[in-house]
Chain A
Amino acid sequence: MKYAFYLGCLIPARELSYEVSVRKVMPELGVELVDMKGTNCCAPFSIQSVDHASWMALAARNLCIAEEMGLDIMTLCNDCYESLLMMNNLLKRNPELRNQVNEILSEVGKEFKGKIDVKNLVDVLYGDVGISKVKTAIKEPINGLKVGAQPGCHLTKPKRIHFELLRGFNELDALVQATGAESVLYERKEMCCGGPLRDINDDLARQVSRQKLMALKDAEVQAIVTVCPFCFLQLDLGQLEIKRHFNEEYNLPVIHFIELLRMGMGMKLEDWEVKAHRIPITQLFKDRLSGIEKK
């Protein structure tokens, strides 16, 4: 299994630990990731809101790069996933739109041909690697941990795109359970984390993530597991922001799913990776972290 690895903007800028965990874990599961060269931003919702034709061309340019590599794309971020997946599907099905986009892309010597598919981490782990292989890779099961899994909006909605791929939070739940942890049902699991409102209306963004955190706390989860780096930011750093603005503490550690998987596979997280979590994870995962002074 080989994929064109599309990193997006947020992860290299703010969540290196996510990238590092992915690069460490995927080869162990038989997945080869080939870095894409010269890609541009996927055109997340903020950019899509500015101009439609630009979205089409920007997203399509990335798809062309993958087509030239002859590989399907694997993304980590839900925003990137939605943008590239939607554009790929739209252009594959609508010849008129395809001609429109290719006219713009001809300026840069590229042409969308519709030869590849776009997948995200959950797609690859669940659909291509498979649950049984993931289970076999678990050397130190994370037993007894009650996890609130946050699939993020664009893993599960809009269903009319995802119907065909049959992705939903059931897949993420199955993956979490494969590590030995328990994926708990909580209220409004499909709800947004509030991320897209960051820098547009920070107050509303905080209020939305606060609703999520309240639901997670009510369900008595011990940790939150995310797939999208935006969700991670909103729910992790977000808890500090909520403490400042609402004077409420949730103390819910947030980790990327790939980190949970990594620990389950017996690999320890490094010091700097542990510190990348604003809500401390040391108590919860003490034996799975290397070089940390146990309090």
Chain B
Amino acid sequence: MTEKAVLVVGGGISGIQASLDLASRGYKVYLVEKSPSIGGRMAQLDKTFPTMDCSMCILAPKMIDCSHHHNVQLLTYSEIKGVKGSQGNFVVTVLRKPRFVDETKCTGCGICADHCPVEVPNEFDEQLGMRKAIYMPFPQAVPRAMTVDKTNCIECGLCQKMCQAGAVDLKQEPKEVELNVGAVVVATGFDLFDSSQIPTYGHGRYKNVVTALELERLLCASGPTGGHLIRPSDGKIPRKIAFIQCVGSRDRRFGTTYCSSICCKYSVKDAVLIKEHEPNTTVSIFYIDLRAFGKGFQEFVNRAKSEYGVRFIRSSPGEIMENPATKNLTIWYEDTVAGRIENIEFDLVVLCPALVPRSDAKELAKVLGTEVDEYGFFKAANILTNPVDTTVPGIFVCGYCLGPKTGDIPDSIMQGSATAARVAEVLERV
């Protein structure tokens, strides 16, 4: 008998869209998410291109829909441990990691965090800000519940003492649950290329060299600086910013030979955003090829040049040197159009790293029995004819974990809907 239930692995925008589509069609959806909250990468962004909408403003209503929909059950802070069976009848074992907080009782008031004595770098803020050992990853988290990071918790018990809802339970145990589903949707997203693998760019050594995601956190009102664009080293407003494209992308040395497809777009978006925040700051973008495809994008680039004065330099820089006193950065590059070796001093450098498969993607693929391609992304059954099917009937995949198609938010949403349609078609057929 076909189970009219679906497992969605990954609570980013793609997984959320697939979940909502399926839930509205009457399917029971189990949305499993590894981190304490759904939302994924889109929750970390400030504004999306090219419409410049506030990312969270678009995402949050969908997140709330997921949490309120009677057909969607959120299993956050959980991981897939095993899959048995076949299309129409999978039995999935999910490990529910203990968050040491009762989700049903927690109101998300945050008093526990106020009193927690332990501070650690905040993953959501890309290590730029701090959080407590008991924390909510971001203010709009769904479910709206705190989580205890047991590795850093010193078990002082203050949170439990201060909680007025009696929600803290430091004795919580991990739990395994079995779910019976007819199909599985994988939407686990991406990680960033580790830019410290290109040592001459100084990421990890020079404080004022940041990745684009770190920049998003600096620009975002919910971020570590409250949305004020300031330099990590001294809190001053940067007056000369450089973006460096293709850090790891199109690079045979690391196996990431593909173009990550969204970086040219988002860096122009960020450049314009910065110019709107700080009109007196100059922004330069160092690129090899400017890939501004799709509706409205070349026009956006032209506006960035003519209206906002963003400088586009055709060059992939060789090295960045730091001034030890000012922590400013000098980029050495060849202006390939002029044919001259030059260097310019900037006070903030933003690297646009390649987007790579999540570190646990291969393991998840093994558990599911699906294949990954030579880059480690989930493999579609056939890129042309079955782009969201995997080689395992009943298991589908959408979003960036499939790899850099066009990869931006509208595409991830489209793919989520496409997968939902495929699931429905397949389960209704069986």
Contacts and interface: CB of A to CB of B under 8 A. Distances in A.
B253 A160 contact: yes
A187 interface: yes
Contacts of B321: 187-188
Nearest to A158: B253
A160 B319 CA distance: 19
A159 B251 CA distance: 14
Interface in B301-350: 319, 321
Contacts of A159: 253
Interface residues on B, range: under 10
Contacts, number: 5
| Chain B interface, >50% SS class | strand
A187 B319 CA distance: 11
A159 B197 CA distance: 12
Contacts of A188: 319, 321
Contacts of B319: 188
Nearest to A218: B324
B254 to A, nearest CB: 11
Nearest to B322: A187
Interface in A128-187: 159-160, 187
Interface string B248-261: 00000100000000
B253 to A, nearest CB: 7
Contacts of A160: 253
Nearest to A168: B199
B331 to A, nearest CB: 14
A188 B343 CA distance: 15
Nearest to B321: A187
Contacts of A187: 321
A187 B200 CA distance: 11
A148 to B, nearest CB: 16
Interface string A174-205: 00000000000001100000000000000000
A281 to B, nearest CB: 29
A187 B202 CA distance: 12
B330 to A, nearest CB: 10
Interface in B230-265: 253
Interface string B96-135: 0000000000000000000000000000000000000000
Nearest to A159: B253
B121 to A, nearest CB: 25
A163 B321 CA distance: 24
Contacts of B253: 159-160
A187 B322 CA distance: 9
B364 to A, nearest CB: 28
Nearest to A160: B253
A40 to B, nearest CB: 34
Nearest to B319: A188
Nearest to B200: A190
Nearest to A187: B321
A167 to B, nearest CB: 15
A295 B287 CA distance: 59
A188 B320 CA distance: 10
A188 B319 CA distance: 10
A208 to B, nearest CB: 14
Interface string A90-125: 000000000000000000000000000000000000
B340 to A, nearest CB: 18
A73 to B, nearest CB: 28
A187 to B, nearest CB: 6
A214 to B, nearest CB: 13
A269 to B, nearest CB: 35
B151 to A, nearest CB: 29
Nearest to A185: B205
A188 B200 CA distance: 9
B362 to A, nearest CB: 21
A187 B205 CA distance: 13
A172 to B, nearest CB: 16
A159 B321 CA distance: 21
A187 B343 CA distance: 15
B255 to A, nearest CB: 12
B227 to A, nearest CB: 35
Interface string B6-28: 00000000000000000000000
Nearest to B205: A185
A132 B364 CA distance: 42
A144 B134 CA distance: 46
A233 B253 CA distance: 33
A210 B138 CA distance: 53
Interface in A27-65: none
B372 to A, nearest CB: 23
B201 to A, nearest CB: 14
A187 B321 CA distance: 8
Nearest to A163: B253
B206 to A, nearest CB: 13
A159 B319 CA distance: 16
B278 to A, nearest CB: 30
A187 B253 CA distance: 24
A266 to B, nearest CB: 37
B175 to A, nearest CB: 43
A160 B254 CA distance: 10
A186 to B, nearest CB: 11
Nearest to B199: A190
A39 B241 CA distance: 56
Nearest to A191: B319
B209 to A, nearest CB: 16
A270 to B, nearest CB: 40
A160 B253 CA distance: 8
B421 to A, nearest CB: 45
B221 to A, nearest CB: 38
B345 to A, nearest CB: 15
A159 B253 CA distance: 9
Nearest to B252: A160
A187 B329 CA distance: 13
A152 to B, nearest CB: 18
B187 to A, nearest CB: 34
Interface string B132-162: 0000000000000000000000000000000
A239 to B, nearest CB: 24
Interface of A: 159-160, 187-188
5 nearest A-B residue pairs (beta carbon): A187-B321, A160-B253, A159-B253, A188-B321, A188-B319
5 contacts: A159-B253, A160-B253, A187-B321, A188-B319, A188-B321
